[in-house]
């Protein structure tokens, strides 16, 4: 039986994580301190490390997407603020025009001129 770790890692890959765990528990790879059992445990640790790396990568991707969404929301908020200021200015002009129309109507009534 070969003691080449790569050959055994390939075997573990083919067997799958769950079955390797079962084989370890059943001592199918020998005693826990045996070389094949240690290789299986090392392989399982590498699988876990890969899973953690992927999880961290996914978290970084999620953080990037959240940052982008926040930046887009800030841009939208600035645009909405600009539009609100413009609408407010238009409303002020409209209110002044309405006040002027009222004043002219009152002036006309007081001076006997019909609007």
- The per-residue pLDDT for 113 is 67
- The per-residue pLDDT for 86 is 95
- The per-residue pLDDT for 114 is 57
- The per-residue pLDDT for 77 is 94
Residue 97 domain-assigned (yes or no): yes
Regions of the chain where pLDDT drops below 50? none
Q: Domain tally for the chain?
A: 1
Residue 17 domain-assigned (yes or no): yes
- The per-residue pLDDT for 78 is 93
| d(C-alpha 95, C-alpha 107), whole Å | 18
Q: CB of 58 within 8 A of CB of 65?
A: no
Residue 115 domain-assigned (yes or no): no
Range of the domain at 97: 5-110
């Amino acid at each position: 039986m070969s003691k080449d770790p790569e050959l055994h890692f390939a075997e573990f890959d083919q067997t799958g994580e769950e079955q390797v765990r079962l084989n370890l528990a059943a001592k199918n790879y020998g005693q826990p301190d045996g070389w094949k059992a240690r290789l299986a445990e090392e392989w399982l640790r590498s699988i876990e490390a890969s899973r953690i790396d992927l999880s961290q990568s996914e978290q970084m991707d999620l953080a990037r997407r959240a940052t982008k969404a926040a930046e887009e929301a800030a841009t939208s908020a600035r645009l909405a603020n600009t539009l609100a200021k413009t609408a407010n200015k238009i409303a002020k002009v409209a209110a002044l025009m309405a006040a002027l129309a009222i004043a002219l109507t009152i002036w006309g009534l007081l001076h006997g001129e019909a609007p």
